[in-house]
Every structure is written in structure tokens, then in C-alpha cells.
Amino acid sequence: MLNVRDLAVELDAEAGLVKAIDGLSLAIERGETFALVGESGCGKSMTALALMRLLPENGRVARGEVALAGADLLALPESGMRAVRGGRIGMIFQEPSTSLNPVMRIGDQIVEAIQAHTALRGAAARAKAIDWLGKVGIPQPERRIDDYPFRMSGGQKQRVMIAMTLASEPDFLIADEPTTALDVTIQAQILDLLKRLQKEQGMGLLLITHDLAVVAGMAHRVALMYAGQIIEVGEADAFFAAPKHPYARLLLRALPDSARRGDALAAIPGMVPPLWQTFEGCRFAPRCDRAVEACRNTPPPLIDLEDRQVRCLLYSDGATAAAAIDRSDPSPLRFEAPSRAPASAAAPLLDVRNLHVSFPIRRGLLQRASGAFLAVDDVSFTIAPGQTLALVGESGCGKTTTGKAIVQLLRGQATIAGQAVFDGADLFALEGEALRAARRQIQIIFQDPFASLNPRMRVLEILGEGLQALRPDMTAAARRASVERLVDQVGLRRDALQRYPHEFSGGQRQRIAIARALAIAPKLIVCDEPTSALDVSVQAQILNLLRDLQRELGVSYLLITHNIGVVEYVADEIAVMQRGRVEEAGPVDRVLANPDRAYTRTLLGAVPRLGLAADQGQVQVVAGIQRET
């Protein structure tokens, strides 16, 4: 259905000519799910934009062919591509906040797409939009269809984007991180919906994601990208059972869960190399634990093995080398569980008591308040020094609102009742300099890094701004040194300091947001989905960093997430929220192993996981989404 041959994409940048994609080839059959995985900045999203001919102004296709059902997309005029985009090929973009028009109601945006690509008009198009909002799990779609994007959570905006794309009933779908901002139950619902559409319509699907458990449950074939090239491609079952490329093996070892708690995750050292440089050998060689001298001097071809293709010189002499590598490397998911650290007995650093947060409901031309929406209803919890509390639940249940209320970001927008006692002082009663002093000790990592970074400031200014505002005692030289250490810690090159947010991938922007929160060494960090936009290897780096900071500085975390693997690895306590209330809370071990409430059991049952088959030593999906073959 889709055939891509030798695709190369170049970007003009200040540093030179960036070869974002270098010789990519792939073929996707009708009804097939093809997963494209790899680290942030390796070219996954650029591949999607090239297929849709939506490259930035400084980008161009240098060579290659892109054929959809035999039609050459690169040869079409722009007027012809407008009929293809949204109609024959739909795309779910990575960042819904920047993909939705902020001054249009969501219903108008969905109806616009339906009318552009189907024969439906007026009331029929609106009815279809409401139907799709319900299909993707938006509560009360008849009412929410008239909301603006800012009234929705990150996960709800992602669902609106999915509804807008699928409502046009495309023949082929490109899904760029479609479940990044979604909780596990909605994720399961969306993925089941995609599978059903594939079965009914024969829709082809290019799935771009860093969630390997979702890939294992959805994809028929997997391609692993690195530095603009595909380095391993094959059937999904074979890929997870026995990954061949050293990079693939290291990725699977970096997955967090409870068994690895207390130990550092196997983060891959270094980072993806800049793509404006000239490569003389294997692009992964500087980070590879199996590299030999030839790897640094000889560019590896894509080598055909029995069940896949691998771009690695270690397989250049055939099955003998492959067998030797397999025998010398244990299964990436075989490990022994360390003991869990004892819980802290100290007085709580943060004590939230009977928290209520309500927002006014405004109607009419003058937008007068006609009622109130209770977003957080009688929530209480404590966080001890050096401990982590995970707040989990479905999108829209009040997790982010709770975090923002604690950090005092809802003053003037919402009515807040209750107490949040931090270091002996009630945060909700602080004003002026006392509030400013408290903010030196509390920081937040926002869910949407693109929306939270000033697009007109370079990274150096973004990271230095907090130090300048909250640590005026620091000299300019000390601030610069601190900022340089921060970018090193979060896995960015120092040349990133002179670049703007739009020049980075979604995962790289998330690292900048994390560095900003860490800049003033706070006592408490509210982490709102801190790893949702990160690939597995960078996630491992960030989790290791957060763990090390907690051990060294005693910093506490309120972790808002839907990633149960991260919760198992990082958290000491867990609170499960539903509809603004805490349904169940307690130690992570107890709640996850033996939940009391039916809602918690449903939430955990929807989690897609990678596990180890005891008899075969193979990776398999052990819960959640099941792939139809």
C-alpha cells in the first residue's frame, strides 16, 4: 500500500546541512501495522512529515520515491497533495497542543475535517463529530464538542486529534506517538479502535512510538531507526524474542519496572550524534559495547539474515557471528529483584489535606458564571522527605489540577479549599515574599514541553531565567556553569544552549523542561508526565538522574503519570484518582500487587507489558493489548 525507496531528507541549519533521513526504505501492506521506533532525534517524525510533504521551510526531499497504492506522492502538485492529506492519508501529530487551533471550538475543527474529506455536511457532519468524540473516550461529547482546546487536559486534546483524523476515514494512517499523553485505559480503547478500523477497512498503519509494550501488542513488523537510518527491521515477534542489533538489546534493558528498583537502569551512554557531521563508520559505534575497529571505519550495509535485516558489521560473516553474539548476551529482560528501600519515618515534607479545586462554568455572550465544575474533590495525601508519591488515573481525573494547585498556578482561575502544608507552612495562605521563598523549594515539570518553553528564548536563557529570578546571589559565571552541568545531566549537547525550542524534537524539549525544573535544586518537584515524550533510553537516563538527585539531595517527587512501569521503578507510595477523588492509596508494592478497588484492578489490567516467557526466554505481551495476527 505504501512503498518508500531510498528516501533522503535534508535540512538547512546554522551548523550546516543536516541529513535528517539518509536512504530510508520500507513497504507497508494494506491492513498491516508497521512500527517505527528509536531514540528522540533519530528521524522518526521527520519521516512522517516527509511522507505527508509537510517538511519545514528549511527542509527538502533530496532523493527517493514515496508511492501510495502506486501513485507517486512526491510528483503530485500541492493542490493534489491537499486531497491526499486527511483523505487518503491521515496523520495523528505528536503534540496536540500545537496541532489544534486554539481559537476554534474542537467541534468546528472536527467538522471542518469531515466536510473537507467526506460528503457529509451540516448537522450530519456534527453528529459524526460527536460520535467520534464518544468513540475516543471523551465524556459527555454532546457538551464537550463546543469547548475550546484549553479547557481540556493533555490526554483529552490527544483524543480530539485522534477523532479528527479518524473521522475522515483515511485509507492509510500515520500515528506519531498517538498514545503518549493517554492513560492506559484510554490507550487500550484507542488501540483497539485502530485495530478494528484496520480489520474493517484494510487501513494501513505506520505507528511511530517509543512505547515498546504498545509495539509488541500492535505491530506486525518493526523497524528500529538510529541517526537517520533503519538499523534493524523484521517481524515483531522475532524482534522482541531475539533482538540482533546491539542498540536494540540495550533499549530493552533500559525498561523500568519494580524488579529493577534500587538499581540504575541500563541507560545507553552518550546521545544520538548530530546529523550535520560526515560519518565514516557505524553511526552507533561510539556508544556500542560491542564495537570493533572496523565499526569505526566502515559504514555497515543493511545485512539480510534469516528473519530480518540488520545494519551491523558483527553479522557480516553470516550465521556464525550471529550465533556467537546471541550466546554471549543474556536475555534483555532477565534480572534479579533487589530489596526495596525502607520507607522514611520523618515528618512529611508536604501534607495535603481535604483539597478541593473548582472552576467556574461560564455561559452566554458575557461569559457569566452559571455554576462550578469540581475538578478535585477532597483529596488528601502526604509526601515524606526523599520519597516519591505517584498520582495515577485516567486523563481528566484531576491529577494535573492537583499538581498545579499545589504549585500555586491556579490562583485567580479556580476556587481552592483545603490545606497544602509544605515545610510547616500552608502554601495556600502564603503571599508576597513568603510565596516567592516557597517557590524556590517547589518546581514543576509540565506535561507539554513545547507549550511551557518560551519560543523566543534560547535554551541558555530558558535555563538561566529561573536561576536569575530565584537565585539572585549567583554570579553570571556561576549561572553559566550551572546551566552547562544541567544540559550534561539530561543528555543534551552543549551546543543546544544556543538553539531555540522549535529546533528540538519532542523528547529533547522534555529534557530541557526537566533541566529547568532541576536548575534551582528544589526540595519538591511536581513531575507531570516527565517521561511521556521520551524514548526508552532517554527515559532511563532521566529516571536515573531523578533517582540520583533523590539520594544525594533528598528531593521529593509528586509523580503524575500513566506509565505503571515508571511507577513501579520510582515510587514509594501511590494514589489512584478517579473523577477528582482518591479511590485507593498506599505503598506501591501492596496496591499494585493486591489492589482493593475494582477501578484500580481495571486500570492495571489495561497496562500493556513486556515480560519474559519462563520456558523460552522470549519477550511477550503479558497483559493489556493483544495483537491479532
49-81 pLDDT per residue, tens = 999 999 999 999 999 999 998 889 999 999 889
| pTM of structure | 0.74
Q: What is the mean pLDDT of residues 328-348?
A: 45
HSE value, Cβ hemisphere, 13 Å, CA-based, for 196: 9
**Cell numbers standing for residue 38:** 528509536
Q: How far apart are CA 89 and CA 187, in angstroms?
A: 22
* DSSP H or E segment with residue 435: helix 432-439
Query: Hey, which CATH number is domain 2-240, 3.40.50.300, 3.40.50.2300, 1.10.569.10, 3.40.50.10490?
Result: 3.40.50.300
DSSP track, 442-457: EEEE-S-HHHHS-TTS
Q: Using pLDDT thresholds of 50, 70 and 90, give the confidence band for residue 26.
A: very high
Question: How many Cβ atoms from other residues are within 10 Å of residue 479's Cβ?
Answer: 19
Q: What is the mean pLDDT of residues 326-352?
A: 52
Q: Is 524 exposed, middle or buried (0-12, 13-18, 19+ CB in 10 A)?
A: buried
Q: How far apart are CA 99 and CA 96, in angstroms?
A: 5
Q: What is the mean pLDDT of residues 80-96?
A: 87
**Cell numbers standing for residue 447:** 506535561
Q: What share of the chain has pLDDT > 70, as a percent? A: 91
Decide if pLDDT at 142 tops 80. yes
Residue 75, C-beta contacts closer than 8 angstroms, at least 6 positions apart: none
Largest CA distance in the chain: 76
Decide if pLDDT at 533 tops 80. no
pLDDT of residue 336: 33
Residue 126, C-beta contacts closer than 8 angstroms, at least 6 positions apart: 107, 111, 145
Q: Using pLDDT thresholds of 50, 70 and 90, give the confidence band for residue 551.
A: confident
The residue among 348 and 504 whose pLDDT is bigger is 348
Asked if the domains 2-240 and 350-448+522-607 are classified in one and the same CATH topology, the answer is yes
The values of phi and psi at residue 133, to 5°, are -60, -40
Give the pLDDT confidence of 560-589 residue by residue, as tens digits: 988 888 898 889 999 999 989 999 999 999
pLDDT of residue 495: 87
pLDDT of residue 618: 38
Sign for the pseudo-dihedral over CA of 466, 471, 476, 479: negative
Of the candidates 80, 95, 341, 356, the one whose C-alpha atom is nearest the C-alpha of residue 208 is 95
Q: How far apart are CA 273 and CA 550, in angstroms?
A: 30
Decide if pLDDT at 620 tops 70. no
Decide if pLDDT at 343 tops 70. no
HSE value, Cβ hemisphere, 13 Å, CA-based, for 74: 20
pLDDT of residue 191: 85
Least confident of 89-93, 549-553, 612-616: 612-616
Q: CA distances (Å), 329 to each of 247, 253, 334, 412, 505, in order?
A: 13, 11, 11, 57, 32
**Cell numbers standing for residue 70:** 502506486
The amino acid occupying position 9 is: V
Q: Is residue 623 a contact partner of residue 608, using CB atoms and an 8 Å limit?
A: yes
Give the pLDDT confidence of 514-530 residue by residue, as tens digits: 888 888 888 999 999 88
Residue whose C-alpha cell is 508494592: 589
Considering the chain, what is the average pLDDT of its residues? Answer: 84
Residue whose C-alpha cell is 507549550: 451
Least confident of 194-208, 216-230, 266-280, 368-382: 266-280
Q: Using pLDDT thresholds of 50, 70 and 90, give the confidence band for residue 619.
A: very low
The residue among 129 and 362 whose pLDDT is bigger is 129
Q: How far apart are CA 447 and CA 526, in angstroms?
A: 10
pLDDT of residue 180: 73
Parse the chain into domains and list their residue ranges.
2-240, 246-328, 350-448+522-607
* DSSP H or E segment with residue 191: helix 184-201
Q: What is the mean pLDDT of residues 456-470?
A: 89
pLDDT of residue 181: 65
DSSP track, 509-540: HHHHHHHHHHTT--SEEEEESTTTTS-HHHHH
Q: How far apart are CA 189 and CA 578, in angstroms?
A: 17
Q: What share of the chain has pLDDT > 90, as a percent? A: 42
Q: Using pLDDT thresholds of 50, 70 and 90, give the confidence band for residue 627.
A: very low
Decide if pLDDT at 333 tops 70. no
Of the candidates 127, 125, 132, 199, the one whose C-alpha atom is nearest the C-alpha of residue 166 is 132
pLDDT of residue 413: 87
User: Which of the given ranges, 394-403, 446-455, 614-623, has the highest pLDDT on average?
Assistant: 394-403
Map residue 266 onto helix, strand or coil. Answer: coil
Q: What is the mean pLDDT of residues 611-629?
A: 38
Of the candidates 464, 443, 469, 420, the one whose C-alpha atom is nearest the C-alpha of residue 553 is 443
Q: Does domain 350-448+522-607 match CATH 3.40.50.300?
A: yes
pLDDT of residue 605: 82
Q: Is residue 507 a contact partner of residue 529, using CB atoms and an 8 Å limit?
A: no
Q: CA distances (Å), 233 to each of 34, 48, 176, 541, in order?
A: 10, 17, 18, 25
